[in-house]
Every structure is written in C-alpha cells, then in structure tokens.
Amino acid sequence: MSNVILYIATSLDGYIAKADHDISWLSHVDVKDEDYGYQTFLESVSAVIMGNTSFKIIKDFGDWPYATKQCFVASHSPDIIPNDNVTFITDPANTIKQLKATNEGNIWLLGGANLADSLLRLDLIDELIISTIPILLGNGIRLFNAPQPALDVTVLSSQCYPSGLVQTHYKIIKNNSH
C-alpha cells in the first residue's frame, strides 16, 4: 500500500521558505558529496503532489525533475497555464485516496505549507521526512501552522550529516477513533 510522505526541508526555527517564497537558504548545506537519502527516497515514489507555488518555483529550475512520476499540482487559481508535466487538481484529498488505492509506490507530498497543513488535518499524511538545516531564518513560511491537531508520531530513523543537516523520519500513528 502506498504511503503519503511529506519529504521537506526546514530551517532550525521551522520555516520552509522566506516570506517572499525565497528558498535560496537551502544552499546553506553542501549537496556535492551527499544526497541525504534523496535518490533512494525518489526511487520509492510513484506520484508527486505539490502546491501551485511550489510548482511555479520548480518549473523554473530547468528540465522537469520528476518526468518519470505522476505529478499533480493542487491549485485554486483560475490562471493555470497548461503544462505537459503535471495534472492540475482541485481536490487533493480525493486524488490521494485514488492514488493510495491504485499505486504501487509512495506518494510524495513535495511542498506547500497550506497543502501539507490541510492534508495533515484530514489525516492523509502517513510519514514525515524532515531535513532540518542549521540556519535560523527568523520569519517566513512555517511548515506547520498553529493550531495543529495533536498527533502521535514515532521516530523511524534520525541521521546527522557532517554538513549539520539532521534528517528525521517519522511515522504518524493513526488514531482509528476519527
């Protein structure tokens, strides 16, 4: 069965981007000699879901990095520009339920704090892989918005890299009462 995994980087103080959506601070860690488990993770993924802002940032990187994956962009925006690499969706919860029923690989919730927030509240995220980068941004876009529902999680693994990045893999303990 597919798991929905939020795989994302945050600053030490919990931000995923600066207020203007700038993510250049991610280069604070050296990725020349270490991929931080990214390739192994990517190989486990069959579908990628992201928010529209994340899509707009990624599409300007050059070649589409997820060409071998099903890619979905959650958007409420009426100004969608068609793109051959992705399918735009308005109901990410329904898309996730369909993917979980039919996909072999994991589903990567790539980004978008609002998207992650809404899916977490709907109990649709199974795991979190959070890479904490040793930098304090002071403000910006938080990974988790308050108030969040209380969730039980267990640590599956945690690794500290020479760059100072700490990556922790959590499993969300599902509460069958809701």
Condensed to tens digits (0 to 9), the pLDDT of residues 107-119 reads 999 988 889 999 9
Judge whether 152 and 172 are in contact, CB under 8 Å: yes
> Which pLDDT score, from 0 to 100, does residue 98 have?
93
Predicted model pTM: 0.90
Which segment of 12-21, 25-34, 86-95, 161-170 scores lowest on mean pLDDT? Answer: 25-34
Q: Say if strands 106-111 and 166-173 run parallel, antiparallel, or are unpaired.
A: unpaired
pLDDT-derived band of residue 178, with 50, 70 and 90 as boundaries? very low
Note the pLDDT tens digit of each residue in 120-156: 989 999 999 999 999 999 999 999 887 777 889 999 9
Please state, for a pLDDT cut of 70, what percent of the chain lies above it. 94
List the one residue out of 153, 177, 161 whose CA is nearest residue 5. Answer: 153
| Mean pLDDT, the chain, integer | 88
For tokens 């029923």, name the residue: 101
Q: Position 84: which residue type?
A: D
In CATH, the number for domain 4-173 is 3.40.430.10
Q: How far apart are CA 160 and CA 158, in angstroms?
A: 7
Token duo for residue 85: 């690499």
Boundaries of every domain in the chain: 4-173
Cα angle, residue 115 at apex, residues 112 and 117 outer, rounded to 5°: 105
> Which pLDDT score, from 0 to 100, does residue 124 have?
94
